[in-house]
Amino acid sequence: MAAFDFRPGALSAAELSAAVTAREISAREVALSALAAIEATDPALHAFNEVTPELALAAADALDARLAAGTTTATAPPGPLTGVPVAFKDNMNLIGTHTTCSSRMLQSYQSTYDCTAVRRLLDAGTIPLGKLNMDEFAFGSSTESSAFGPTHNPWDTDRVPGGSSGGSAAAVAAGMATITLGSDTGGSIRQPGSFTGTVALKPTYGRVSRYGCVAFASSLDQIGPFAHTVRDAALALAAICGQDPMDATSVSRPETETQAFLAATDPAARDLDDVTGLRVAIATDLLESDGLDPRIRADVLAQAETLADRGADLIEVTLPSTEYGLSAYYIVGPAEASSNLARFDGIRYGLRVSDPEPTDVMDLYLRSRAAGFGAESIRRIMIGTYALSAGYYDAYYGQAQKARTVIKQDFARVFAQADVLLTPTSPTTAFRLGEKASDPLAMYLSDIYTIPVNLVGTAGLSLPTGLIDGLPTSVQLISDYFNEAAIFRAATTLERAVQFPRNDVPCGV
Ligand code: GLN
């Protein structure tokens, strides 16, 4: 055994990869310790839908063999993620795993190809530990709509980890993986990041390919990382970003952007405690919204002061149209979802209920879809189908797209004068399991600060800033399109100031 603590989470990705690359510890030891951590911790949390020891050990052994031989290839260089244990939300395909979307509909579906973001993270030399629990088809904010049972919050197992990427958040928070990937359509990376005290990034729409990630709302979906540190999130983004011919919405961006967001987190490239000249906007109207815990409001203002102390210029702004965000999202999201989920018909894809023998194809569709989808999925499909139906399209979908345009104009006004916008991530800390499960509107409200970012398409990161009654709280840093560098700059400086006590997590390895 190595002389130092190499449990996932005890070391940052950068430190772990340095130790593996220097062969102070083997990738196999890292993989075995991560698998042992999952075995010990996951029964209380249920972050994982599937653990993949064979894939983990095969990747680790291949890595150790290459490092021993001193041979590296273009796709397996020793780099800042070499030997880092990772895991993936269960809506991302990886050959050798199931991709269930935590739904009965896809319970037995086996991946036949790799999601691009997954492949890119693995090609950076990481070790795949498995697939992570989520709200069914990513519909939800608590991971309670999983057909396989909820994930528990490692800070308090009576509470939800947030959602829909709750497994991805809990796995990192509990130290079972160093980096995980989630998807964010309306807050599903950032809100669970906030509830679990993890660094959680939704990149700009188009920054990361969604190929191989089961689609929810194609004009909103984006893949991003969960990590312990801002630096690790930047390293993960650098590994997964970039154009992909398999996703027409992914864009080619200049290499200088990647260099800039890596430099923003690199002590060799800048004074990490200095944000002189960074223009930070505070949306005064968003801080007045009903339902915002006053302690979270006070924390956001305190973080703004910290940034000002480190040289940032604070600017007060308003975002009056964001109040329409939730309503617009709950038309656009379900509308696109109802269309994307039409493929799960029991014939081409998904669960088929054919016993007793169906009377006709409609009977087969109806019985398969009724059995395969859970209550929240059915609710979304019905809302979306209604909103798109003839005669209602203009009143609902058309109107929602107009709201989206005015929200974009609000953001454009902010980013004409500011580099980052600082807001709460979530109006509350983690709620109790069951607390909002029967009240969809209360559940939807927990995404009030995250959803506008998806509608606009810019980037947002949730940064843990402390504990309220023992539960993590956080701020959200939002940038203009493709300016994640500004987010990383502010987040790194704040991270150093707050020193979030991530190792105090009660249910961790
Ligand atoms: N919680 C939101 C919803 O229920 C967002 C989900 C997501 O981002 N996937 O739709």
CA-CA distances (angstroms) from residue 118 to 166, 223, 314? Answer: 18, 10, 38
Q: 487 burial class (0-12, 13-18, 19+ CB within 10 angstroms)?
A: buried
For residue 188 and ligand 1, the question of a CB distance below 6 A is answered with yes
Of 266, 353, 264, 278, give the one whose Cα is nearest residue 310: 278
The torsion of the CA quartet 29, 35, 41, 43, rounded to 10 degrees, works out to: -160
Q: Is 112 helix (H, G, I), strand (E, B) or coil?
A: coil
The full 3-state SS of 319-339, as one line of letters, equals: CHHHHHHHHHHHHHHHHHHHH
Crossing angle between the packed helical segments 399-417 and 325-340, to the nearest 10 degrees: 120
The burial of 346, by beta-carbon neighbours within 10 Å (0-12 exposed, 13-18 middle, 19 or more buried), is given as buried
Q: Kindly report the three-state secondary structure assignment for every residue of 347-364.
A: CCCCCCCCCCCCCCHHHH
- Among 103, 141, 143, 380, residue to substitute to test ligand 1 (most atoms within 8 Å of Cβ): 141
Select from 162, 60, 258, 77 the least CA-distant residue to 464. 162
**Closest ligand 1 atom, residue 185 Cα:** 8
Q: Is 164 in the pocket of ligand 1 (CB under 6 A)?
A: yes
Question: Nearest Cα to 272, choosing from 313, 311, 228, 304?
Answer: 311
Q: Mark out the alpha helices in 114-214 (DSSP H runs).
A: 116-123, 166-173, 190-196
Please tell me if the CB atom of residue 141 comes closer than 6 angstroms to any atom of ligand 1: yes
Is residue 185 within 6 Å of ligand 1 at its C-beta? yes
Q: How far apart are CA 216 and CA 169, in angstroms?
A: 19
Q: Which CATH number fits domain 13-263: 3.30.950.10, 3.90.1300.10, 3.30.420.10, 1.10.274.10?
A: 3.90.1300.10
187: left (phi over 0), alpha (psi -120 to 50) or beta: left
Q: What's residue 76's pLDDT?
A: 57
Report whether residue 137 contacts ligand 1, using a CB cutoff of 6 Å. Answer: no
Q: Please state the atom number of ligand 1 nearest to the C-alpha of residue 220.
A: 8
Q: 483: CA distance to ligand 1 center in Å?
A: 24
Q: What is the pLDDT along the chain (509 residues), one digit of tens a residue?
A: 344 566 666 788 988 999 999 999 999 999 999 999 999 999 999 999 999 999 999 999 999 999 998 876 655 567 899 999 999 999 999 999 999 999 999 999 999 999 999 999 999 999 999 999 999 999 999 999 999 999 999 999 999 999 999 999 999 999 999 999 999 999 999 999 999 999 999 999 999 999 999 999 999 999 999 999 999 999 999 999 999 999 999 999 999 999 999 999 999 999 999 999 999 999 999 999 888 999 999 999 999 999 999 999 999 999 999 999 999 999 999 999 999 999 999 999 999 998 899 999 999 999 999 999 999 999 999 999 999 998 998 999 999 999 999 999 999 999 999 999 999 999 999 999 999 988 888 888 889 999 999 999 999 999 999 999 999 999 999 999 999 999 999 999 999 999 999 989 998 76
CA distance 447 to 217: 16
In single-letter form, the type of residue at position 330 comes to Y
Domains in the chain: boundaries:
13-263
Q: Which of 164, 165, 441 to mutate to test the pocket of ligand 1 (most atoms within 8 A of CB)?
A: 164
What is the per-residue pLDDT for 445?
86
49, 132 contact by CB (below 8 A): yes
* Block residue for tokens 């801002």: 230
The predicted structure's pLDDT at residue 3: 44
- 187 alpha carbon to ligand 1 midpoint, in Å? 6
Upper half-sphere CA count for residue 450 (Cβ side, 13 Å): 36
Task: Check: pTM over 0.95? Answer yes or no.
Answer: yes
Number of the ligand 1 atom closest to the C-alpha atom of 376: 4
Is the CB–ligand 1 distance for residue 324 below 6 Å? no
For residue 34, give the amino acid letter.
Answer: A
